[in-house]
Amino acid sequence: MKSNIWKITWSVTVWEFNRFFKWMDLVKGALLFAGFAVVGGVIGAWASGQAIQPPKVAVADFGPFNPDRFEDSFIQFQDGTVFSPDSLESLYQEEAIDGILTISDVNEASIRVNSDRVWILQLEQILNSVRVDYKLELFDLDPVLFDELTAGMTLAKDFETGEVSTLPDKILAGVAIFLLVMAVFMGFAYQFTAITSEKQQRITEQVLSAISPQTWIDGKILGITGVGLAYVAFYSVIGLLGMVVFIYLGVPLQETIALVNPLFLITFLMLALIGTLMWNAFLAGIAATIDDPNTSTKSGFMMMPLLPVSLAFLTLANPDTVAMKILGLFPITSYAVMPARMVLTGVAWWEPVVALILIAMTAWLFRILAGRIFAAGMMMYGKEPDWKQMLRWMAKGTETGQTDSGNQPNA
């Protein structure tokens, strides 16, 4: 019956993980989704096959333009001048043609069609092109000269920091932040459910008589973080499978993936992992003080992890401001701001290292503070502690005498 804190923490971790991670349900859900995707794909292919048929447009009047100019395009133009207006109308009514184009003069034309269509934009481009050619001929202008006049200017970008990241790196940073937010929010939801239901089902006293609040919350933080990360990993695997399918179909994704900087990948993963642990520790402490999640004002804390993400967007404007440099290191915001800075500007090697150290220290501190709040909050029924009380618990601990490291009993 000999045991130790690590073993018990692991027991709690496994229990909490298994309580909420139902992989069979997840697989069933994914298969159902895949089934819908296949059915939707088949229906979509059939529908889009019809939608992308080249439209047939009869030109009732070419105006000043040469009919030869209307050949060789996505739209199938037909010479409508060979038909009488009544015959043309009959063809339109029988849906043998999709529209009737009438060009009044060099500047005006009209298209008769049942309703707005996507290909009308292409028709406008064709008409503009035909009109430009017509005008060049009319004014006897050299097309080469025209191209020269209308050509844009090339601007070479000479960055002091050099080319810090590739497009795949930037996509990776975006995906990493998205997945982290997903893991944190899933963890939040399960942490709330786990802790508030244990309070409501009066399970706490029995567990706390066996293990210390700190051991219990440690196991919960690890287990629930595991659930969030497992879901993210599952969806990542689904995404990778999708990429494999695309590569198999000939899309050169492997060349794009090869451009990803492995150091970025490792840094993002570590920030994501420790960031999720930090937020789950934070939330476990908050959840322990909630008596009824439906009415508690503390439920609003669920939105807090969105703050760093919104700050990360500010880096797009200028990632090199003092504020962004500080927020990239500040543990509450670094998990989103640092990856954004790393792919947008040059970052000194020590900055991600300091960010990782600080976020790890904060996660540890949150764990201790959450343990202190948890110890008292879990035994409190019917009312919620106020902020003053919570701060007092955080500063001095609670009145519980129980720790696994042991309060010295009077033997």
Partner 1 sequence: MISFHQVTKQYSRVRAVDELSFTVNSGEIFALLGPNGAGKTTSVRMLLQLIRPDFGEIRYGNELIHDRKLDRYRIGYLPEERGIYQDSPILKTLVYLASLRGMSTEEARSSSLKWLEQFGIADRAGDKVSTLSKGNQQKVQFIASVIHNPLFAILDEPFSGFDPINQEIISGMIRELRNNGTTILISAHQMQLVERIADRILLLADGKELMSGTMDELREQSGAGQKLEVRFSELLHPENLTENDRITTVQDDDTGAWMVMPKSGVSLNDLLQIITEAGEIESLHSSEANLHDIFIQSFGIKTEVKSEE
Is residue 203 close enough to count as binding partner 1 by CB under 8 A?
yes
Our CB check for partner 1 shows the closer of 154 and 201 to be 201
Our CB check for partner 1 shows the closer of 207 and 253 to be 207
Is residue 312 close enough to count as binding partner 1 by CB under 8 A?
no
- Indicate the pairing of strand 108-113 with strand 99-105: antiparallel
We find the least distance from the C-beta atom of residue 398 to partner 1, in angstroms, to be 9
CA distance 155 to 150: 16
Instruction: Return the range that interacts with partner 1 (CB under 8 A); candidates 196-204, 248-256, 258-266, 343-351.
Output: 196-204
We find the least distance from the C-beta atom of residue 288 to partner 1, in angstroms, to be 15
Binding residue (CB under 8 A) for partner 1 from 165, 204, 225, 280:
204
CA distance 83 to 275: 72
Exposed e or buried b per residue across 374-406, where buried means at least 16 C-beta atoms within 10 angstroms of its C-beta: bbbbbbbeeebbeeebbeebbeebbebebeeee
Our CB check for partner 1 shows the closer of 25 and 71 to be 25
We find the least distance from the C-beta atom of residue 223 to partner 1, in angstroms, to be 12
Q: Do 58 and 91 touch, CB atoms closer than 8 A?
A: yes
Binding residue (CB under 8 A) for partner 1 from 169, 198, 218, 351:
198
Instruction: Return the range that interacts with partner 1 (CB under 8 A); candidates 10-18, 238-246, 265-273, 293-301.
Output: 10-18
Is residue 107 close enough to count as binding partner 1 by CB under 8 A?
no
CA distance 255 to 267: 22
CA distance 225 to 17: 8
- Determine whether 270 is exposed, middle or buried from the number of CB atoms within 10 Å of its CB (0-12, 13-18, 19+): middle
Is residue 113 close enough to count as binding partner 1 by CB under 8 A?
no
Q: Is 140 helix (H, G, I), strand (E, B) or coil?
A: coil
Is residue 256 close enough to count as binding partner 1 by CB under 8 A?
no
CA distance 59 to 66: 12
Is residue 409 close enough to count as binding partner 1 by CB under 8 A?
yes
Within 366-395, the residues that bind partner 1 by CB under 8 A are 379, 381
Within 206-225, the residues that bind partner 1 by CB under 8 A are 206-211
Within 21-40, the residues that bind partner 1 by CB under 8 A are none
User: How far apart are the two ends of the chain, measured CA to CA in Å?
Assistant: 21
We find the least distance from the C-beta atom of residue 199 to partner 1, in angstroms, to be 9
Our CB check for partner 1 shows the closer of 58 and 378 to be 378
Our CB check for partner 1 shows the closer of 200 and 256 to be 200
Q: Length of the chain in residues, anyone?
A: 411
What Cα–Cα distance (Å) separates residue 294 from each residue in 8, 195, 207, 297, 298? Answer: 32, 14, 25, 9, 10
Q: Do 336 and 179 touch, CB atoms closer than 8 A?
A: no
Is residue 400 close enough to count as binding partner 1 by CB under 8 A?
yes
Is residue 15 close enough to count as binding partner 1 by CB under 8 A?
yes
Q: CA-based Rg of the chain, rounded to a whole angstrom?
A: 32
Binding residue (CB under 8 A) for partner 1 from 3, 50, 150, 297:
3
Which residues would be at the binding site for partner 1 (CB under 8 A)? 1-3, 8, 11-12, 15, 19, 198, 201-211, 379, 381, 399-402, 406-411
